[in-house]
Amino acid sequence: MQKKVDIEDLNSIRSESNFKDYSHIKIGNNVQYLFLPRSMSDLVLIFDFASKNKLAIFPIGGGSNVLLGNVKNRVLFLDRKLPKICEINSDEVLVSANYNINSLILKLKKSNLGGLEFLATIPAHIGGIIKMNAGAFGKNISEYLKWIKVLNKKGEIEIIQKEKIEFSYRKSSIIDYILKAAFKLEIKSEEEIDSQINKFRRIREKTQPINFPNLGCIFKNPKGESAGKIIDECGLKGEKFGDAEISQKHANFIINKGNACFDDVKNLIKLIQAKVHAKTGIELELEITVLN
């Protein structure tokens, strides 16, 4: 008979901090089961605990585009303490899912490898970027992907070739936990890469509120349209609940101007969806993950 995994078995990797300490928008509550695994065996233990206790499992990567309330009866884990690897071989790189995209772009630059600069300044880890097929300026991460190594729900490790994954706008068919990914890159000079990074950074600084804690774009763009433009045209810029405010720079961003809480952001999201629907008939779909 299989031994039941108890919460005591996971005490050494259980987070005692409020999620706020990890969240990019600086909002968080006391999440019942939040773990910081340090190794593959810690991960297997977490998966076992979730499965034996029939709890849903939510990997939250670096925590940059999740909004968490008082989450109970779900198993969440952050990847920051897992080993980080980045192995470059000719024009390919094998990288762990917990690698920060900006650190990766700078590391690749030193080997004259580029392509991913369009993602510069996004505060995200590789795993989350692949799972949601993050993109900007007309490019998506899937264009550079070769394969991923995952831990599936049965606790087995598997390699999945890119051709077996369906990618679309901000979406992938990946359901397993990504451990590592291999990318094929473009050979570029350091100067060329720097100039690309600076170009994208300048555009973001000009058009997005990157100097305030935020969650990235809140909503997906409806086909052929910009959610930010639609929200702006509904006159919602500057609307606020507590310290959460719809950015004056880009209406698809909610910023934390101090002590915003989960309900403040949730209320703004509901307000945007209701006003946009009433005015245009469009149902805006969340790009971020909200759990409560």
Q: For ligand EPU, which is the closer residue by CB, 180 or 250?
A: 250
For helices 190-207 and 101-110, give the axis angle rounded to 10 degrees. Answer: 160
Minimal distance, residue 60 CB to ligand EPU, in Å: 16
What is the nearest approach in angstroms of ligand EPU to the Cβ of residue 46? 27
Residue among 254, 265, 256 nearest 231 (CA) = 254
Helix runs in 97-236, H state only: 101-110, 126-131, 190-207, 227-233
Question: Nearest approach, Cβ of 263 to ligand EPU (angstroms)?
Answer: 22
Least gap, CB of 162 to ligand EPU (angstroms): 21
What lies within 8 Å, CB to CB, of 1 at 6+ separation is: none
Report the amino acid identity of residue 239.
E
- Give least dist CB 226 to ligand EPU, A: 4
Largest CA distance in the chain: 61
- Tokens for 69, please give them: 């309330």
Q: Which is nearer to ligand EPU, 39 or 248 (CB)?
A: 248
Q: Which residue number, 146 or 199, has a Cβ lying nearer to ligand EPU?
A: 199
Written as six digits, the tokens of 52 are 């034996």
List the beta bridge partners of residue 95.
86, 181
Rounded to a whole number of angstroms, the minimum distance from the CB of residue 118 to ligand EPU is 8
Cβ-contact 128, 24 below 8 angstroms = no
Buried b (16+ CB within 10 A) or exposed e, 66-87: bbbbebeebbbbbbbbbebeee
Q: Which residues bind ligand EPU (CB under 6 A)?
A: 136-137, 207, 216-217, 220-221, 226-229, 232, 250-252, 287
- In the bound state with ligand EPU, the residue whose beta carbon lies nearer, of 98 and 221, is 221
- Cβ-based nearer residue to ligand EPU, 14 or 220: 220
Q: How far is the CB of 227 from ligand EPU (least distance, A)?
A: 6
The nearer residue to ligand EPU, 181 or 231, going by C-beta atoms, is 231
CA trace torsion 169, 170, 171, 177 (10° rounding): 150
Smallest gap from residue 252 Cβ to ligand EPU (A):
5
CB nearer to ligand EPU: give 10 or 129: 129
> Measured between alpha carbons, how far is 250 from 73 in angstroms, rounded to an integer?
35
